[in-house]
């Protein structure tokens, strides 16, 4: 009997969390919205809507506004999200630098600072990161009124549920319990995650895929990462990862990859490989405005846009390889939208045409008929992906209920 009672209590608390989260998300995504509309969409009783909105008002997560009726008369009271009361610190821990940004709940950047990251050990990185957060908080103390969370993203295998960094390519880690360490230090909820998966989530919340349920983001930079969104949820498995697109074979005659395979996508399209191929072709006598000393990826994209034949060839080749891997993902996941991110997207027309050509020849027609192929609208060098983890915690109710309980 006691066990059943505990189950009932647990289920009731979970149902409360889900209901509050649903209403908050509706208000954020469909503001301005009336209580009557909230009841109709959510199928909750008007009394429940009144109770939930009262608590969200008390917590300063929403506010009431007067909306003038088109027929005249008294203005109707509607509800909108209130973004400026709370703040979150979001951090991108990349291979070469640490980007720390302060956001309000509307994903507006209030402050931003970039710091170099050298070859540190786990302990050195931990100490360095804590000192940077402390410095940032001190410098931005006038803007940080109500800090509700700190989020950190980085490349690698990140157990976001347990808050542990299992692997990251630029730091030798040993089950780094980063979330627990930062929680003890700063006494706010901590969220950590993979940088590209989090960027896919940010694209769904704030970017080009807000209007679709199913999407895939592929980012090309020093490596290749991807994030899959299904029914507006980030696809995760038991290992807190999914879809290692960088090691799909796209060229059977390609060089051996560090994973042991030959011709992996990563070996064909990451920035350094495109730059290396540019130098090789220049040595072979290809005419171009590129030079061996200036053939970085941004210059290649710039000259490709200006019609440089070699630069166009390099972008087109990378796009065709990328398209072969994307075609496999389309055949498996059948997304509504594919989003590409990274420096390659600085030459969008050539890149998208090349990817689309591969898609048309290697994916099922029925799966690509209404498929959107776009470049990311977000700055993938920012910490917006980290902030998406905070938004996710508000939308699933876990962080939302902490704020309500504190009030």
Higher pLDDT, 6 or 210: 210
For the segment 126-137, the average pLDDT, to the nearest whole number, is: 97
> In the structure, what pLDDT confidence band is assigned to residue 9 with cuts at 50, 70 and 90?
low
Over residues 29-87, the pLDDT tens digits come to 998 999 999 999 999 999 999 999 999 999 999 999 987 555 555 667 899 999 999 99
- Tell me how far apart the alpha carbons of residues 313 and 290 are, in angstroms, rounded to a whole number: 12
Q: Among 161-165, 311-315, 367-371, 372-376, where is mean pLDDT lowest? A: 367-371
What global pTM score does this model have? Answer: 0.91
DSSP assigned state of 343: G
What residues have CB less than 8 Å from 289, skipping those under 6 apart? 303, 306, 308, 311
Task: Kindly list the structural domains of the chain, giving each domain's residue range(s) and its CATH number in brackets, ordered by start.
Answer: 2-81 (1.10.10.10), 87-200+383-406 (3.30.420.40), 208-375 (3.30.420.40)
Burial of 240 (0-12, 13-18, 19+ CB in 10 A): middle
- C-alpha to C-alpha distance for 211 and 52, rounded to whole angstroms: 26
Q: Mean pLDDT over residues 216-243, rounded?
A: 84
Query: Which is more confident, 184 or 31?
Result: 184
Contact 91, 149 (CB under 8 A): no
How high is the pLDDT of residue 118?
87
Q: Tell me the residue ranges of DSSP E strands in 108-214.
A: 109-116, 147-154, 157-159, 164-167, 190-194
In the chain, the percentage of residues whose pLDDT exceeds 70 is 93
């Amino acid at each position: 009997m006691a066990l059943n009672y505990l189950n009932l209590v647990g289920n009731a608390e979970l149902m409360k969390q889900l209901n509050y989260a649903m209403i908050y998300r509706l208000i954020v995504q469909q503001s301005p919205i009336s209580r009557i509309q909230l009841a109709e969409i959510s199928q909750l009783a008007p009394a429940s809507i009144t109770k939930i909105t009262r608590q969200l008002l008390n917590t300063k997560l929403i506010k009431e506004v007067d909306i003038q009726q088109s027929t005249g008369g008294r203005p109707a009271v509607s509800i909108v999200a209130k973004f400026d009361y709370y703040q979150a610190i979001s951090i991108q821990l990349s291979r070469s630098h640490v980007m720390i940004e302060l956001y309000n709940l509307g994903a507006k950047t209030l402050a931003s600072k970039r710091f170099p990251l050298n070859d540190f050990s786990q302990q050195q990185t931990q100490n360095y990161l804590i000192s940077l957060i402390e410095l940032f908080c001190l410098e931005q103390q006038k803007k940080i009124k109500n800090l509700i969370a700190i989020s950190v993203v980085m490349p690698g295998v990140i157990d976001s549920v347990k808050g542990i960094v299992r692997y990251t390519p630029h730091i030798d880690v040993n089950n780094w319990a980063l979330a627990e360490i930062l929680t003890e230090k700063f006494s706010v909820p901590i969220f950590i995650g993979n940088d590209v998966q989090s960027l896919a989530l940010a694209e769904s919340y704030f970017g080009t895929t807000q209007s679709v349920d199913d999407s895939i983001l592929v980012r090309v930079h020093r490596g290749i990462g991807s994030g899959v969104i299904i029914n507006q949820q980030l696809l995760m498995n038991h290992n807190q990862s999914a879809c290692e697109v960088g090691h799909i074979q796209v060229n059977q005659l390609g060089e051996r990859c560090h994973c042991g395979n030959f011709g992996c996508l990563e070996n064909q399209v990451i920035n350094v490989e495109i730059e290396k191929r540019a130098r090789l072709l220049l040595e072979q006598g290809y005419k171009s405005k590129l030079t061996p000393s200036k053939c970085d990826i941004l210059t290649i994209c710039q000259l490709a846009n200006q019609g440089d034949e070699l630069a166009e060839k390099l972008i087109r080749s990378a796009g065709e390889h990328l398209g072969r891997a994307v075609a496999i993902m389309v055949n498996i996941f059948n997304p509504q939208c594919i989003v590409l991110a990274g420096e390659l997207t600085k030459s969008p027309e050539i890149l998208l045409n090349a990817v689309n050509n591969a898609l048309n020849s290697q994916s099922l027609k029925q799966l690509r008929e209404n498929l959107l192929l776009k470049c990311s609208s977000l700055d993938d060098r920012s910490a917006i992906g980290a902030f998406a983890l905070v938004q996710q915690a508000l939308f699933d109710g876990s962080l939302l209920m902490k704020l309500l309980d504190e009030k």
